[in-house]
Structure 1
């Protein structure tokens, strides 16, 4: 009995599907027009089902971004996340600006001549105190002279040059380290080094 009801119900649905006409018009309904309208109805339903299935697969199979918040990640955790999700990783900074001196250590080394005894005050005093009257005559020729006669001014110039270089570098270092690095998101390592 239930089987007959189900069979009868399915038969009615099949008959309705065969005779379904969504494009019925008020014009003269000839068998040819009705047949065309039923074919259009079937094509429309088929396209509707295919589009629905395609959209469903697209939604199901497409990658969807998911917002995950990690509070205060370590540097190693951030680097791992950056390797995996570099295109859409955001790491907002807790401070908008920070001085370079907080995270950089810049040192400089002057040329070794600037730390040698050739620019020391003891050497410069020795050269300045040379009694030029005691320099033997035989040391002065057309091609050579005792460097002590003019060496004091050269070494004094070199000492002054080294001192000015050191002062300028220290000033530039102080200014750079107090300069503010401003960014609202943590940049990638390569972008940071390019800046």
Structure 2
């Protein structure tokens, strides 16, 4: 098959060797193709009892996509494995928003103050507003957390630790941004209300 037309013995032997090697490789390739076409792929299923996450991680790294581990429970409430701790501004836990302090400011007589813009005239109302803002923020956040925790995490198969943490981070990130958006919206409504009342008071 491989022939250069040379009459040298070593060249002829080299050409014969190349031809034989080519035929051998061609024959092996044909055999492999026939085997892959005719012989069916045998899938062996083994049922294992996993006792730890480490065992699962080892098996998934060994068998990759061919390894499947169905969950005995496909849904579980977030409150079973997630705890959310919220830290509020320190003013919301101070004495400045307590009723006794606001009542003290409201009971002071500032009738002798003529300037309507003097802060002492409206100081009680301002602290009352601050108290209500703190209560509103706490209520909004707590309601969002309670609503979130009763929802369920769904998965028909066990997921790796890294994938699980990624999903939880995405979910809690959405909870945080959505709660902030809701509070910002209600705060904007309050600002509009206060601005409207201020305008009416000035015009009165």
Quick check: TM above 0.5? Answer: yes
Look up the match of 1:108: 86
1:93 aligns with 2:68: no
Q: Structure 1's 108 and 81: CA in aligned 2 closer, same or farther, altered over 3 A?
A: farther
Partner of 2:57: 79
Could you say which residue in structure 2 is the equivalent of 1:149?
A: 121
Kindly indicate whether the alpha-carbon contact (under 8 Å) linking 2:97 and 2:130 is maintained by their aligned counterparts in 1. Answer: yes
**Higher helix residue share:** 2
2:50 and 2:107 map into 1 onto residues whose CA distance is: 66
In structure 2, the CA distance between the partners of 1:141 and 1:156, relative to structure 1 (3 Å rule), is: closer
User: Considering only CA atoms, is the larger Rg found in Structure 1 or Structure 2?
Assistant: 1
The 3 A distance-change label for structure 1 pair 82 and 114 is: farther
TM-score normalised by L of structure 2: 0.55
Q: Mapping of 1:116-195 within 5 angstroms?
A: 116-133=94-111, 145=118, 147-188=119-160, 189-190=162-163, 192-193=167-168, 194-195=170-171
Partners of 1:177 and 1:99 lie apart in 2 by 7
Structure-2 separation of matches of 1:102 and 1:178: 9
Q: TM-score normalised to the size of structure 1?
A: 0.57
Q: Which residue of 1 aligns with 2:181?
A: none
Q: Moved runs in structure 1, 4+ residues, more than 6 A?
A: 56-59
| Shift of residue 178, structure 1, vs aligned partner | 0.5
Counterparts of 1:22-101 in structure 2, within 5 Å, are 50-51=28-29, 53-54=31-32, 67-101=45-79
**Cα distance per residue 1:47-66 (max 9 Å; x no partner):** 9953565359979xxx9875
Distance apart, 1:70 and its partner CA: 2.7
RMSD over aligned CA atoms reads 3.5
Q: CA deviation at 1:175?
A: 1.0
Q: Distance in 1 between matches of 2:143 and 2:125?
A: 27
Aligned residues: 141
Quick one: structure 1 residues 82 and 116, their matched pair in 2 at CA, closer, same or farther if it must change by over 3 Å?
Answer: farther
Are the aligned partners of 2:75 and 2:152 in contact in 1 as well (CA < 8 Å)? yes
Structure 1 counterpart of 2:6: none
